[in-house]
Structure 1
Amino acid sequence: MSSLTYPSHADPRRTLLASALIGIGCMAAVDEIIFHQLLAWHHFVDRDTAFALASDGVLHAIELVLLVVGFFMMIELHGAGRQAPGYRGPGFLLGAGGFQVFDGVVDHKILRLHQVRYVDDLWLYDIAWIGFGVVVLAIGWLLLRRARRGHAASQR
């Protein structure tokens, strides 16, 4: 079991949501900064240059909004003494991994907004991109199960 103490007024769902928003925002920032700007492998929507750059700006704005909302929610939870111990890490990882898998499956494959990188062996990049997201999601899910067990044990 967990050695964390769970106040009776802790809010696991809101703690999980706030940290998931932060995780999504952080992973979107990593994608935007590393793959869009530094490596210049793709843009959010690969079309003509002006539209591609504008689409990156929209992604960046959304990422910042998610980060700000998530952090303000977390500050509000902390101030009210309602943060649920053990739920921040899983929420962050579920958000980050969920973003990565969504981006790889929906944006890359279904909508074809862009690819990870435009090369002949694209499937290697797809496997790495989506696979990384699945691993992060799995770790987040395992940590969430542990947090829920600890929370349930503290409620007895």
Structure 2
Amino acid sequence: SNRLPPVTVVAKSVNMFWDGIFHLFTLIVVIIGMILLWKLLYRKNIDRSGRLLAGGLVFGWGLFNLVEGIIDHQILKIHNVREITGNPEMWNIGFLAISVLMLLLGYWLMKRRSAARQTGQADACFPI
């Protein structure tokens, strides 16, 4: 394994450094996604539903948290959601559970948007 047991300040610092590298990578992905989204706004055939945007954001946030929680907290054990507690694993599991709920909520919002659009009641967040 490439991780250091988080028993010293130096080991925790190294682990947090690599956690920061992971977050930097995800920030770059988010920036690229925002640029692509901005470019899409100029197209005429794009559905600009607020529910679609909100659902996509919540879904993406939940997906990120789920991946980060599984990789950093469960597999690599770089850190816990809450370090100073009697049961840090409970916090890690709770974090994953909330992430799954966010995925489900985001999916529901996007599907609800599709149903509203089919009935002609989609809310246009960005008027054309």
Matched ranges for 1:22-41 at <5 A: none
Q: Aligned letter for 1:74?
A: L
Given the alignment, which residue of 132, 138, 146 partners 2:104?
138
TM norm structure 1:
0.58
TM norm structure 2:
0.68
Q: Once the 2 structures are TM-superposed, how far is the Cα of residue 136 of structure 1 from its aligned partner?
A: 1.4
Q: Once the 2 structures are TM-superposed, how far is the Cα of residue 112 of structure 1 from its aligned partner?
A: 2.4
Give the distance between the partners of 2:89 and 2:119, measured in 1 at CA: 44
Give the distance between the partners of 1:111 and 1:97, measured in 2 at CA: 20
Q: Are 2:87 and 1:121 aligned?
A: yes
Q: What corresponds to 2:75 in structure 1?
A: 110
Matched ranges for 1:4-153 at <5 A: 48-49=11-12, 51-84=14-47, 85=49, 86-118=51-83, 119-153=85-119
- Report if aligned partners of 1:46, 1:114 keep a CA contact under 8 Å in 2: no
- Report if aligned partners of 2:80, 2:89 keep a CA contact under 8 Å in 1: no
Q: Which whole-Å deviations, capped at 9, do the CAs of 1:24-54 have from their partners, x for residues lacking one?
A: xxxxxxxxxxxxxxxxxxxxx6662553343
Q: Secondary structure at the match of 1:87?
A: helix
Q: Secondary structure at the match of 2:46?
A: coil
Moved over 3 A (4+): 151-154
Give the distance between the partners of 1:141 and 1:68, measured in 2 at CA: 22
Q: Aligned letter for 1:88?
A: L
Cα-Cα RMSD: 2.4
- Report if aligned partners of 1:104, 1:126 keep a CA contact under 8 Å in 2: yes
Q: Once the 2 structures are TM-superposed, how far is the Cα of residue 153 of structure 1 from its aligned partner?
A: 4.1
Report percent identity of matched pairs.
Answer: 22
Higher mean C-alpha deviation, range 89-98 or range 130-139: 130-139
Q: Which whole-Å deviations, capped at 9, do the CAs of 1:101-129 have from their partners, x for residues lacking one?
A: 22223331133232223333123312331
Which structure: larger Rg? 2
Q: Which whole-Å deviations, capped at 9, do the CAs of 1:34-79 have from their partners, x for residues lacking one?
A: xxxxxxxxxxx66625533431441242132122111111111001
Change (3 A) 1:57 1:125: closer
Gaps of 5+ in 2: 6-10, 121-128
Change (3 A) 1:137 1:63: same
Give the distance between the partners of 2:74 and 2:95, measured in 1 at CA: 12
